[in-house]
Structure 1
Amino acid sequence: MTKKEVGHNFLARLGKKRVRPGGITATNWLIEQGQFSKDSHVLEVACNMCTTSIELVQTYGCSIEGVDRVPKALEKARANICEAGLDELVHVQQANAMKLPFPDDSFDIIINEAMLTMLGDEAKIKAIKEYLRVLKPGGRLLTHDVSFTEERMGEQLASLRQTINANVEPLHVANWQKLFEEQGFSSVKLNYGKMTLMSIPGMIKDEGFWGTLRITYRGLKKENRQQFLKMYRFFNKAGKDLTYIAVCSTK
């Protein structure tokens, strides 16, 4: 394809089901912090195809509202929900994270993966304030984003934006923590480590051996090869010191 695609959309088109910076490892840590149960009322912001929501409902029997801004993602999400037979427990709608269509104190848990990184500083604050508003007292916000611990990685941000065709704004680990604390969360717990989005071990862990082979095969087709190799080389060389950061913030 000659048209530039945003990185996570490109990988999803190749068949990658988990397009999060820290893969299933970071997602599983968040789920542990969430303390999900069948009584949990959950909101997933930027639910995409609802892979995580479906897994949560299948495991815990909780009820989930999902929101996303992309109609095609919601169309796929509804098909996945229907196929899983979970229409009564998972509902999705188009909505903006900075203006959520829910009353105050609505949810026990909010999960939002790989989205805040895509927002500028002011938009990050607006979204987090909305999350705080719709969380019940004592509720938990679970987020998963791109970060870095080495100050020099700030120099790589222009290359990252060019590589994934998106104007991303990752923060230093300390600044992510400060961001949540300054918006009024009473407790902020962090987990961070090496990004696994396009490392071979990370892809195998997230997608399985055969899934990784299928994604790589599609990525190396003529129409995809340039962007696939560009992303692979960046994340495994110049951008190898980028980290994922998973955060559990309690209202």
Structure 2
Amino acid sequence: MDQRPHTVPASGRSSEQVQGHWLLARLGKKVLRPGGIALTRRMLDQADIRGCDVVELAPGLGRTAQEILDRGPAGYVGVDRDPDAAAGVQDVVGARGTVEVADASATGLPDASADVVVGEAMLTMQGDKAKHAIVAEAARVLRPGGRYAIHELGLTPEAIGDEVKTQVRQALARSIKVNARPQTTREWKTVLQEHGLVVEWVETAPMALLQSRRLVSDEGLVGALRFGKNLLVQADARRRVLDMRQVFQQHRKSLIAVALIARKST
């Protein structure tokens, strides 16, 4: 079953200060991935997780955990450093898996203990050093031949200039209160390849997180209406969300969602 966690992480922070993804969660948005639930599903299908031991890094609200469990893995382990998030995801997975409180760069899981590692919309939020530490940890946990599936915020085109990159990143940081560092598809590939992972599948999608059509697609009509109602009655939150939407719209030609699957060499 797809439940809402009892406590949304960072619930004690004001609408003006809370990170953008947790603000959206507070307002009732369950799908917080840049390419929406459709790209997540295509990625999970390509990762071929049925009968596999799956580790999910930073599972957030547990929406992807539900999708993973629906595909019949042999086992599920979630890893989140936020105790509230971990408790909420444990409610979602129940007896079908476990959720550990740990950092994605130091999970504490045994070497070569997973067939598939999944991480969505979390490497984007890290600086270069932290990105590499998390990918190295995913590679350590994977068995030979295992797959690492990521779904992140991307930049386009590949030849995007450094000045535009800086403008986009600064606008995102100001709006979503996270020092987001999206990369081009080539740059995402390079990060994975530097840790002995061979990229086998790539797909992109529009970054339309707050567009009306995507809201309905991701949340369903009832969920989208509930989200809209919450916006109407919470003025501070509405100002933040409209600002985020404006930033996404302003930089729509430079932002995409990208999903990649890379295999650990045997």
TM-score for the superposition, normalised by structure 1: 0.92
- Partner Cα distance (1:234, 1:162) in 2: 10
Question: What amino acid is aligned across from residue 161 of structure 1 in structure 2?
Answer: A
| CA displacement at 1:6 relative to structure 2 | 0.5
Question: What amino acid is aligned across from residue 191 of structure 2 in structure 1?
Answer: L
**Does residue 114 of structure 2 align to residue 100 of structure 1?**
no
| CA displacement at 1:199 relative to structure 2 | 1.2
Contact persistence 2:30–2:63 (CA under 8 A): yes
Q: Quick one: which of 81, 87, 101 aligns to 1:75?
A: 87
**Does residue 37 of structure 2 align to residue 29 of structure 1?**
no
Aligned partner of 2:29 in structure 1 is 16
**Does residue 140 of structure 2 align to residue 133 of structure 1?**
yes
Aligned partner of 1:160 in structure 2 is 172
Contact persistence 1:43–1:66 (CA under 8 A): yes
| CA displacement at 1:240 relative to structure 2 | 5.2
Q: Quick one: which of 196, 211, 222 aligns to 1:199?
A: 211
- Partner Cα distance (1:120, 1:100) in 2: 18
Contact persistence 1:69–1:95 (CA under 8 A): yes
Question: What amino acid is aligned across from residue 176 of structure 1 in structure 2?
Answer: W
| CA displacement at 1:51 relative to structure 2 | 1.9
- Partner Cα distance (1:110, 1:2) in 2: 32
**Does residue 181 of structure 2 align to residue 169 of structure 1?**
yes
Question: What amino acid is aligned across from residue 30 of structure 1 in structure 2?
Answer: M
| Residues 1:240 and 1:215: Cα distance change in structure 2 (over 3 Å) | farther
Aligned partner of 1:53 in structure 2 is 65
Question: What amino acid is aligned across from residue 29 of structure 1 in structure 2?
Answer: R
Aligned partner of 2:191 in structure 1 is 179
SS of the residue aligned with 1:168?
A: coil
Q: Quick one: which of 225, 234, 255 aligns to 1:242?
A: 255
CA deviations on 1:178-226 (whole Å, 9 max, x unpaired) are 1111211133421112112111111111001221121122123223121
CA deviations on 1:17-52 (whole Å, 9 max, x unpaired) are 110010112101211211121x21000000122222
CA deviations on 1:222-250 (whole Å, 9 max, x unpaired) are 23121011112222233453101101000
| Residues 1:59 and 1:33: Cα distance change in structure 2 (over 3 Å) | closer
Contact persistence 1:180–1:188 (CA under 8 A): no
SS of the residue aligned with 2:107?
A: coil
- Partner Cα distance (2:118, 2:106) in 1: 16
CA deviations on 1:110-153 (whole Å, 9 max, x unpaired) are 00000000111011111111111110000000001001113154
Contact persistence 2:200–2:262 (CA under 8 A): yes
Q: Which runs of 4+ in 1 moved over 4 A?
A: none
SS of the residue aligned with 1:101?
A: coil
Contact persistence 2:189–2:199 (CA under 8 A): no
Query: How many residue pairs get matched?
Result: 245
Of stretches 231-240 and 90-99 in structure 1, the one that deviates more from structure 2 is 231-240
Identity in percent: 32
- Partner Cα distance (2:178, 2:116) in 1: 28
SS of the residue aligned with 2:224?
A: helix
| CA displacement at 1:62 relative to structure 2 | 3.2
TM-score for the superposition, normalised by structure 2: 0.87
Question: What amino acid is aligned across from residue 112 of structure 2 in structure 1?
Answer: D
Contact persistence 2:203–2:259 (CA under 8 A): yes
- Partner Cα distance (1:141, 1:208) in 2: 29
